[in-house]
Every structure is written in C-alpha cells, then in structure tokens.
C-alpha cells in the first residue's frame, strides 16, 4: 500500500545561526529587542569596497564540528549548518533520523576556496588553485550534515539564489505531502565571501551604512551570513511521538518572473500571484494573515515591488497587517535568507510577537505598510507569510499558522496522476537529437565525431550578450525539448543539475578584482556567477514562469534534477517541468579532477533535457507520451537498497538497464536482483562527462521504450551518499 499522505505539516523544531547569535531562540530574542548584527568585515580585506560593513557570525571554529582530522575539508558554511541543524533537532526533541534533508545554498565553501585564489595572484600553481576551487561545491554541506546527523535517508541541495532556503522548505513539503517521507530537515546556509561582497559592491547594491529596509533613505542591502533549519513532520508522525507543534506550514508557492536576472518586475504581477497561491494552498484569505516577514532587501526597486505586491493582495486589509524585514538586523544572508526568515516567522507565531525592521527610521511614504518600528510588537498572530525573491526572478512564499489553529478546509488537490515524458532533446556528438532518435547513444562503441553546434549563434544576440556556453546549452536544449513535446513555455518549470557551477568564470571575476581592485569588478558579470544563473537566464530568455531552480549532487546532479521535477509535479506546482543538465566544459574543473572529459574548453555541447507532465494533463492536451514513469526511488542507502524497493522486473519481458554514474556499484547491485538478466547499456565517457550524464541516461532509457526496443527501462546511477533509480515503460 502507498504511504499515508500527510493531513497537515507540522513545524516541530527551529534552529538558526545568525549575526545575532548561535541558536534560533537567542537570535529571535535579540531580533525582537531591535538589536542589529552589523559590524566591520573581518573575514577579508574590504578597504577598497563601497561598504566595509556586514552581519558576520562571530566565533566560528570549523574544528568544533568537523570529524577528527577532517577540519581542513570543512567550510564555514558547514560549521553554521551543523550548528543550526542540531539546534533544530534539539528544539524538536530529536537526536537524528530517520529524516530527509533539503538544503538551500549559493556560496558553498567559496570563502575557503578564495584563499587559494588570493594566493594564486602571488604565484601559486594553477593546479593547486583548481583543486581548491572544486573542493567545496554547494552540495558538500549536505554531505557533511548527513555524515554528522544519524539517519538521513535522502538529501538534495537546491540553488535559486536568494530564495534557496525557502525553496528547500517547499521541497520538504513535497516529500511529506506525497508520503515519501514523514519527517524532514529543511533550510539554508550561506557564508560571506569575497565573491558575493565584491559582486554586490560592483552592482552598486551595498549600503555603506547598515541597511534600512523600506526607509525613504534606503540605499542598498547589507550582506550577512547564517543558517537555519525547520523540522517538518506529517501531523500523524508528530502526534504519534507527542511532539510539540510550534506552527503549521499551511501553504507555499514557487515560480519565476521571467523578467530580469537582477531587477524585479516593477509591476509585481508574479509576486502577487505567488502570494495568492500560497494563501489559496493553505485555505487562507488575506483576512487570516496578521504578519508578513517581507523579503525587504532595502534596495529601492525590491522594496517598492514588494510593497506593491502586498497592496495588490491585501487591499484595505494591509492597514492592519504588520510587516517587517529581518534583513535590517541580520543582513541579507542569500541562500539562508528564506530559511532564517521562515524560522523567525514560526517563532513570531509561537510567541505572539511581530519583530521590527531594524534601521527603519523614516518609512517611505510611497510604500503604505504597517511597519513594526524599534522593538517587537505583542499581538495575537493567527497566520503569517514569509516571502523570498531571488536573482533570476525565482520567488517563494510560505504561509504558516499558529499551533492552536484548527484544521481548515484546503482546496481539493487533483488526484495524483502518473507522470509521463512527452519530450526529449539532447545536444551531443551526434548533434541535436529528439525523442526516440536518442537510441543512437545506446551503443557506446559507435564511432562519433564531436559536432560543434554553435549554440550561441542560435540565440538572439541582443538578449544573450552575457550568456556563456552552459547557459546557451540550457536555452537551446530546453527550447528543443519543449518543441519536441509541442508545449508552450508559459507556466512550465525548469530544474537544471550542476556539480560545481561556473568555476572558470568565477575565478576570472575574482582574479580581476584581486589584482586590480574591487572597482575593476564587472557589475554585468557578477549576476551570471550564481550556480542557478544558467537556469534563471533560460527562464527569462524562453519565458518559463513555473518554478525554476538548480540542484547540485556532483555526478548525479541530473538525476537529482529529475527527482525534484517529479516531486513538484506531484505537489502541483506546475503543469509541466523540464529537467536535465549541461556539462560546462570547464577547464578549471577538468584540471582539478585530472580528467578533461568531453567538451573541456571546447564549444561542442553536452546537454540533455526531458519534459515531464502529469499523464492526465498530457492526454487532455492531446500529447502522445514517449514513456510513462512507473517508479522512482532515491536515497542514501545505495543502489542495492533501491533495487530492493522496486517492483521485480517481469520474467521474459524486454527489459533494459541504462547505467549512469557509479557503474561499478550499480553492476554489483544488479547481480542477484530481478534486473540481473536485463540488457545493459553503459554510456561512453566520450559522450558526456558529469552534469549531463544522468540526463543522457534517462533520455536513452526513454528512447529505447519509445522506439519499441524495450518494454521496460531502468535508469540507475550511484554517487557516494546518494543513488537514483527511475523505471520507464511504454505508454499506450
């Protein structure tokens, strides 16, 4: 029988690390008191920067949390994440799992990697620089958390820039709503680093003073760092163990603006839709909301857009709804912001107090909001919103209700439908292929010459001037997949997998700033360095307005993207999702890993994308699915455990197994399983290197089923710490 679906989602624990302190409750107490965490930057030299202030977390020592002898491999982000996660689990009365882990991040261990970059200016070898820069991918923190916390069953690392932490909470909700998990630890982390400080300075976005959200004299944001997690449980699981419920996560929404890589849409149309969707999902109306923890970055454009969005949703109700921004006290913590602000929103409901907006002295009269000034205001808070908006335009809104709230009718959710693949597109040595033609890659011995596809030349030069090869691969490949599915991009979401982000481009940006000074840093270049930038740029270029994010899981990044896309279809966040990955051909990564791989430094493309839809919706629009996704499992237990959870392969059926990353481990797991006798397909490393490997595997599996060469196809991959299995069958 399928797992029981959660009736409500309980928040049973909160944990946080911020410039106001170690611990969620101590940080919140200082927040309510109106204290501010800004001070002179001490982590790196900012003498030539527009601002010398940030909200640093003081007194962090990595060796206090890292296993013995491993502190050199642990980052500042890892340290904050472990402290916040343990705080959340202790708050929930838990020692560990079983639980699932969703983490939002943007910087990873960049702060530590930059030390090698700084040394390279003084003559360090490019090999040592390369090794340092890829030693701290954003997914490393989730791995270190899983090594520290007992019982983590699955994990995912999500990047959607400044909304990452909130989006991770939505992914946890997807797991609980579908019954794939009963308990999750979800949140975000980011540490300060030269890259982000220099980049935001180059954009002219930093206020030389502590930032002043919604103030008429506001002059930009103030950067901060931190981490926060929520423990989320199905109501049944929380009740069964007698857990204390702090609040209910009642509604959520994630979507992209498709407007601009840094500037919000001044019309606030998408932000209004997001807020309304989060309310509707929880069965809430504007009359039920008493407090909003706003994104409130203190930039002129963002604050004006957000105030316009709140006015568009709340109308006359806005005069009574308290609004504040935590960034005036803890800074903009980027990937951690949505998680920290969600934790503070939960505590506001639990304690009946709306925190203030630090630094707000002269509210902008053009933004008619009911601000909380000075110190927190005691009030009976029934329900509250926490809003986050990120680079590339992906926003997330979370709706919470106080613990005493009675269950309320929620909108009737459509019955879960099977998922189907309606479009496939690959860019590889055989050129641009679609659908069943991808059976060409099922023979790894077939001789193929790389096919330069001149992807940038296929794009409108006026709208793609700053695009790199990876972004072009995403734009061209996703557009081809949508065309193969005969699907309009409107309301469609995108999940792109990446292992390291654009290391070479980030290194070049930092070298220039370090060698020539911060004023030499390019403001036009910085927004394209965030790991989620290629997906964000693609959403803007193609007009994708569903949820658009990036996930990171080293060689199984594409598999992680596919899994998250399926989760969000189950959750009803979009009518269709595109998932896949593109190899960056990054020479810095290639040198560091000692294997250039295909496309390294070359213009030839390696990318694969699949369009996933609910079968009922696809049939309703007249689509002819290529294959049906019958089963999907993922987890940290390894491929053998995953195969044991799958239905047995039918005897005598024409089954095929397509192997991705971790070929040796997967072959070992197949031995003795019901899939042992299936035809094996291994993908040549001449075909693709890392990020797109799993996407090519899924494309080949779907193609073999669609062409009639197989009745059933299993795409199987394994990375130390995570494994993925997806089963496709012919769709009649």
Q: Which residues are catalytic?
A: 162, 295, 332
Of 359, 309, 347, 404, the C-alpha closest to 230 is: 347
Q: What is d(CA 1, CA 4) in angstroms, rounded to the nearest whole number? A: 9
How far from each other are the two terminal CA atoms of the chain, in whole angstroms? 25
Measuring CA to CA, how many Å separate 195 from each of 78, 528, 550? 18, 12, 19
Beta strands in 224-300 (DSSP E): 226-234, 247-256, 291-293
Classify residue 252 as left (phi > 0), alpha (psi -120 to 50) or beta: beta
State the residue for tokens 């073999």: 704
Measuring CA to CA, how many Å separate 435 from each of 226, 560, 577? 44, 21, 16
Beta strands in 429-575 (DSSP E): 431-434, 493-497, 548-552
Q: What is d(CA 399, CA 381) in angstroms, rounded to the nearest whole number? A: 13
DSSP state, residue 265: -
Assigned token pair, 523? 């403001």
Helix (H) or strand (E) holding 694: helix 693-706
Of 396, 492, 11, the C-alpha closest to 170 is: 396
Assigned token pair, 141? 């923190």
Torsion angles phi and psi, residue 77, rounded to 5: -60, -40
The alpha-carbon radius of gyration of the chain (Å, integer) is: 24
Helix (H) or strand (E) holding 479: helix 469-484
């Amino acid at each position: 029988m399928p797992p029981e679906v959660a009736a409500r989602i309980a928040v049973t624990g909160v944990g946080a690390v911020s410039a106001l302190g170690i611990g969620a409750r101590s940080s919140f107490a200082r927040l309510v008191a109106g204290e501010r965490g800004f001070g002179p930057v001490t982590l790196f030299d900012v003498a030539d920067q527009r601002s010398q202030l940030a909200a640093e977390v003081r007194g962090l020592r990595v060796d206090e949390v890292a296993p013995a002898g491993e502190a050199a491999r642990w980052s500042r982000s890892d340290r904050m994440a472990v402290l916040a996660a343990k705080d959340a689990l202790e708050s929930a009365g838990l020692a560990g799992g079983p639980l699932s882990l969703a983490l939002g991040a943007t910087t990873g261990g960049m702060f530590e990697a930059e030390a090698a970059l700084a040394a390279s200016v003084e003559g360090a070898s490019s090999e040592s620089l390369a090794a340092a820069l890829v030693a701290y991918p954003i997914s490393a923190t989730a791995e270190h958390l899983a090594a520290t916390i007992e019982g983590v069953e699955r994990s995912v690392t999500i990047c959607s820039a400044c909304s990452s932490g909130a989006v991770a909470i939505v992914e946890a909700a997807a797991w609980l709503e579908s019954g794939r998990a009963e308990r999750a630890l979800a949140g975000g982390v980011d540490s300060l680093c030269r890259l982000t400080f220099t980049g935001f300075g180059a954009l002219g976005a930093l206020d030389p003073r502590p930032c002043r959200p919604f103030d008429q004299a506001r002059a930009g944001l103030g950067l901060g760092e931190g981490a926060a997690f929520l423990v989320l449980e199905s109501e049944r699981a929380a009740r069964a163990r007698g857990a204390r419920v702090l609040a209910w996560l009642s509604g959520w929404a994630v979507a992209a603006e498709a407007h601009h890589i840094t500037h919000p849409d001044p019309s606030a149309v998408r932000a209004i839709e997001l807020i309304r969707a989060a309310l509707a999902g929880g069965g809430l109306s504007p009359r039920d909301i008493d407090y909003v923890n706003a994104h409130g970055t203190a930039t002129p454009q963002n604050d004006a857009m957000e105030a316009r969005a709140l006015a568009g949703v709340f109308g006359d109700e806005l005069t009574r709804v308290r609004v504040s921004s935590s960034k005036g006290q803890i800074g903009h913590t980027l990937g951690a912001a949505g998680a920290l602000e969600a934790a503070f929103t939960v505590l506001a409901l639990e304690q009946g107090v709306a925190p203030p907006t630090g630094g707000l002295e002269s509210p902008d009269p053009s933004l008619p909001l009911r601000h909380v000034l000075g110190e927190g205001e005691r009030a009976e808070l029934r329900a509250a919103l926490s809003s986050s908006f990120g680079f590339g335009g992906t926003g997330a809104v979370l709706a919470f209700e106080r613990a005493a709230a009675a269950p309320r009718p929620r909108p009737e959710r459509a019955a879960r439908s099977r998922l189907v693949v309606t479009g496939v597109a690959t860019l590889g040595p055989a050129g641009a292929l679609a659908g069943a033609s991808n059976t060409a890659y099922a023979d790894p011995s077939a001789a193929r010459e790389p096919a330069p596809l001149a992807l940038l030349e296929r794009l409108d030069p006026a709208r793609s001037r700053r695009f790199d090869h990876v972004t072009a691969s995403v734009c061209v490949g996703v557009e081809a997949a949508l065309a193969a599915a005969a699907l309009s991009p409107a309301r469609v979401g995108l999940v792109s997998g990446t292992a390291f982000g654009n290391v070479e481009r980030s290194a070049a940006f930092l070298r220039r700033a370090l060698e020539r000074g911060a004023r030499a840093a390019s403001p036009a270049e910085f927004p394209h360095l965030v790991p989620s930038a290629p997906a964000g740029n693609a959403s803007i270029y193609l007009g994708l307005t569903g949820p658009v994010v990036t996930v990171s899981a080293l060689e199984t990044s594409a598999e992680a993207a596919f899994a998250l896309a399926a989760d969000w279809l189950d959750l009803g966040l979009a009518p269709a999702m595109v998932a896949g990955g593109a190899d960056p051909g990054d020479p810095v990564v290639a040198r560091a890993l000692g294997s250039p791989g295909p496309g390294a430094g070359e213009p030839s493309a390696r990318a694969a994308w699949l369009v996933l839809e609910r079968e009922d919706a696809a049939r309703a629009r007249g689509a002819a699915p290529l294959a049906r996704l019958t089963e999907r499992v993922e987890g940290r237990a390894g491929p053998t455990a995953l195969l044991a959870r799958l239905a047995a392969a039918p005897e005598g059926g024409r089954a095929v197994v397509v192997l991705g990353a971790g070929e040796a481990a997967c072959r070992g797991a197949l031995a003795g399983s019901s899939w042992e006798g299936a035809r094996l397909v291994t993908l040549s490393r001449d075909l693709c290197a890392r990020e797109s490997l799993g996407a090519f595997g899924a494309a080949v599996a779907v193609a073999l089923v669609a062409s009639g060469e197989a009745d059933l196809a299993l795409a199987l991959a394994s990375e130390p710490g995570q494994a993925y299995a997806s089963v496709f069958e012919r769709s009649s």
